[in-house]
Structures are given as C-alpha cells and as structure tokens.
Amino acid sequence: MLLVTGGAGFIGSHVVEAAVARGERVRVLDALRPEVHGGARPALPDGVELVRGSVTDASEVRAALDGVSAVCHQAAKVGLGVDFADAPDYAETNVTGTAVLLAAMTAAGVDRLVLASSMVVYGEGRYRDGDRIVLPPPRAVGDLERGVFDPLGADGRPLEPVLVGEEETLDPRNVYADTKLAQEHLASSWTRATGGHAAMLRYHNVFGPRMPRDTPYAGVASIFRSALERGEAPRVFEDGGQRRDFVHVRDVARANLAALDGLAALPSGAARAYNVGSGTPRTVLEFATALADAFGGPAPVVTGEYRLGDVRHITASSARIAEELGWRATEPFDDAVREFATAPLRAAAPRD
C-alpha cells in the first residue's frame, strides 16, 4: 500500500489519482487544514482510505503507516507566507512533520520515500557573468526600490540566468525555502541511518485544477486565476520579467510515480534529487497574459511591487529525471493554460 501524506491537497490529490489509475492501493493522511480546504471534505477516488491527521502527530502517523510499503510525502505548508510570523508554523509542519514521519517509517520498516521538495532550495539560481557562472547575493532593497530587479554583474549590467542542475550549491532565501531544504537534509540523514531509499522532487511552479483560491499561501498561478474570477486584472510584481518554469500538476503526479518506481534502482542508503519542470522557462508576465487571454478577462497589470525573499529568476534543468527515470513533461502549455482558466479551484479559505 502507498501512503500519500497531504493526499487531499492540490498536488497530493493528483498523485493519488495517478496511483489509483495504475492499480495502486492508496491511503491518504491529511490534516485538512482550513486555509487549504476551506472546510470542504475532499473527493477522493473510490477505494482510497482517508485518515484525518497531522504529520506532526506521531500516533496518527504510526497508525497511517500500518501495512504501507512506500510513502509519497506531499504534506507541507507552502508559499512565501504573509510575514515572518508564519515561521513557527512552517517549521512545525514542514520540518518537525517530516522528522516525525521518518521516525515512524523507521519503526514500521518502511524504506521507500518520495519527498515533495521545491526549486526554492536553489535561491536565486545561477547566472552567467561573462565567462563565469556566478551565484549572486540577495537583491538589495535599494535596487528593488529603484526598479532594478535583475542581479547585476561587476560591469553593472544584468546577469544572464542559466539552467540549474541538481548538484549546484543550494541557497534558500526565505523561510519556506529553508524548511524545504531541511526536509531534504532529514531525508538524506534517514537514508544513511536506515539504509532506506529516497527521491527528492524539486518541483517548479506547479499549476492546474484544484489549486486553492483566495489565499496568500497559493502559488502565483492560483493568485492570478483568483483575481480573474473576481473580475480583476492579475497583478504582476516587479516588471513581470521574472523567469519561472510552469509545470502542470498531472505531469508532477507522473513524476512522483516515476520516482517511486525508480527507488528500487537506488543503492541502499541513497537519497537522489530530481528537478521537475516543463523544460521551457517563461516569464511571470507571459504566464499571466496567457491565462488572462484564455479566461477572457482583463490584461495583467504590472505593478512594480516586490516581496523580500522572492528571487528574480529560477529555472532548472530536468535532464536528470529524463535520463534516469524516463520522465518528461507532456502536457502542452497552451492546452494546460486553457484548461486551468476554467477548471474548478478549491473552495475559498475562511477569512478572519
């Protein structure tokens, strides 16, 4: 049996559907947090057992692991958050929750893990400065205030972003990113200590049906779609030139199954990281424009606003997962955006 933590959530529910479609027996462990689910009971495929519980509760996790042979760990608090006051919740859910899960897996003899990580562990990514590849420091507030959004080279010109491979230095630059890297470190420590096997999937900007709407913790795609649904123009921060890789959630679900299958090929005690992206970088403004056109709503507004902790460009190479696990994104971007423009989103989270 496969346990999917967070399996009632946006990405997790698609992992569950993909696993059931290929004949897996699946159990879901999900806390059903109101800011994610809005109080609605999730609809899961027939035969899927739903256990309402938190990955931070050792007794609930132990019960959910009964009869399980592998875990897809999707449960996490996501997004940049509202402010630093969110830090304890991020650390409790993402870091402590992962530690509790891994300890319970050890006790239960479960030795296969697929971990939902994120491209945010790379921080600002990598850039070309002449004939050198460099890792720029965090962007200065003064530059951002003046509308200078791109990291600059020694000559004062914008650096050229390049694709990042899994072996590059990791450089998280906000609390969420810190916790995702901590999850990876915990998974690696667990494999070394127990001889287990772990695949760590560094998701790019995932979008698709069932994203939560009207919440500051959702991804930018959901924020844009929520604005359009309210009849408002999507608000694009900075100058809209931020480069990202928008990958469809069904492709991400297939990547989880490919990683699950690939665990058997890993040596005992190995943890392997894989970037999971479409392979085609796009700017945030390009995505917002495509979505607004597909929705038939107002064109995006470029605001010049910024958020501390955001990075300018981060796009990574997904060559490793293609070569080692045979996975490639297959959902056509234009079709996926048209689907997303009208697909149901999760119920709005209650507001204070």
Question: Are the C-beta atoms of residues 93 and 77 closer than 8 Å to each other?
Answer: yes
pLDDT in tens, the chain (352 residues): 999 999 999 999 999 999 999 999 999 999 988 766 666 677 799 999 999 999 999 999 999 999 999 999 999 998 777 688 889 999 999 999 999 999 999 999 999 999 999 999 999 889 999 889 998 888 889 999 999 999 998 888 899 999 999 998 899 989 999 999 999 999 999 999 999 999 999 999 999 999 988 766 678 999 999 999 999 999 999 999 999 999 999 999 999 999 999 998 999 999 999 999 999 999 999 999 999 999 999 999 999 999 887 889 998 999 999 999 999 999 999 999 999 999 988 765 554 4
The pLDDT of residue 342: 93
Q: Report the run of H or E that residue 274 belongs to, with start and end.
A: strand 271-276
Q: Which residue has the tokens 């994104």?
A: 329
Question: Are the C-beta atoms of residues 203 and 270 closer than 8 Å to each other?
Answer: no
Q: Which of 176, 217, 274, 306 is catalytic?
A: 176
The pLDDT of residue 349: 52
Tell me, rounded to whole angstroms, the distance of Cα 334 from its chain centroid.
21
CA distance 315 to 294: 24
Q: Which residue has the tokens 């470029």?
A: 302
CA distance 267 to 153: 41
Q: Is 306 a catalytic residue?
A: no
Question: Are the C-beta atoms of residues 125 and 139 closer than 8 Å to each other?
Answer: no
The pLDDT of residue 352: 45
Q: DSSP state, 152?
A: B
Residue 320 structure tokens = 């490793």
The pLDDT of residue 54: 96
This prediction has a pTM of 0.94
Residue of 284, 77, 311, 307 whose CA lies nearest to 173: 311
From residue 1, alpha-carbon distances to 23, 32, 99, 107, 286 in Å are: 10, 21, 21, 17, 41
Residue of 177, 71, 166, 75 whose CA lies nearest to 120: 177
Residue 175 structure tokens = 């609390």
Amino acid in the structure at residue 276:
V
Residue 2 structure tokens = 């496969």
CA distance 94 to 177: 10
The pLDDT of residue 212: 85
CA distance 255 to 325: 9
Amino acid in the structure at residue 152:
L
